[in-house]
Chains A and B, each alone.
Chain A
Amino acid sequence: MAEPVLARANTESREFRAPLEHMIAALPKPEEDVIERSAVDNLTCAAKTGQGSLHQLVMDLHKVLNTMQAELSEEHLDGASVYRIDAADRPLISAFMAELNRSAGLKFSHPGLGTTVTRAGD
């Protein structure tokens, strides 16, 4: 999951490399196939800013991957970044986005509602 982000030689990728290597090195070694509960919590909790966990790192990587995916999108359809969709998907996406765009003004200055559409498993 981290490889596409790390492969980009930019500041963002450098920011991920050190904490990722540190967390992988610090992963607890299971003894007799048992791992401490606290270790599981440390791995899976969504820690607050500045208190990184592996789970937090995965979520941050996910965000970067979303951005990268949007950059790869073949087109924007009614505000959605779309990638390798079928013709039959278009009316569904348009229906979803029409209502999303109509109501989006109610978030005022708050960011959000970024939408990406693709196909999976085809």
Chain B
Amino acid sequence: MVIQNDIGTTNAHVMVIHVKGMRVQITHMDIHPERIQFLRDMLKGYEVSWGKELNRQADAGLSGVSFQLVQGQFAAKDSTELLNYLKFLGSGLVFLIDWNRARKELRGFLKGKDRLALLARAAEQEIGQGGFLELEGANLINRAIEQRRDSAMHFGDRLCDILGDEGAVEFLRFVFRAAMEGLRDHQSPGLTQDRGRAWAVLANWTSKANGD
């Protein structure tokens, strides 16, 4: 049996799942190697045997993008484990959508490793990045900062430089959850953006950063 999922409908991002007996082979094509690593990390709870990633690197002078193809094999012990693995795959695909876009949106706020950890945790907790992006991602944060007149933030500052790495990560975790819950509960985007708890948390931390 072959299951094909188009994930986010963008080019070169497709997952094909071959199921034969108790064996499941994932074939994943992606233009972002970091997202392939995210997928591998997401499946670390299962003994997946990953094959070599096949790279396509265009010459620097060419406008084409490069992409990678990777395959992961998993052998289930029994039908229960097979079902659980397929369930896990089904539940996780949504977190691949716009993963790299979210990573880029977070550049102004967190360091690289913290961005990856934030997205991984958002997937583990079934929050994801969709809500954050739906509410305009970085703009959501920037507006909150701009509205804080006595903010310690200045143009060019990263949030982690002001709040510290831990504080910035904690704040972004909160924003991700607030965005998801706000949209899920049909709150108006304005409420989530302008008057939500994210604003209050940012205000408190900004005050701390100001030494209040």
- Chain A residues proximal to chain B, CB less than 8 Å: 37-38, 41-42, 44-48, 51, 53, 56, 59, 63, 66, 80, 85-86, 89, 91-93, 95-100, 102-120
Contact = CB atoms under 8 A, between A and B. Distances in A.
A106 B126 contact: yes
A5 to B, nearest CB: 17
Contacts, number: 146
A106 B4 contact: no
Contacts of A105: 184
Nearest to A102: B91
B7 A112 contact: yes
Nearest to A100: B90
B48 interface: no
Nearest to A116: B4
B39 interface: no
B98 interface: yes
Contacts of B90: 95-100, 103
B9 A114 contact: yes
Interface string B64-75: 111100000000
Contacts of B91: 99-100, 102-103
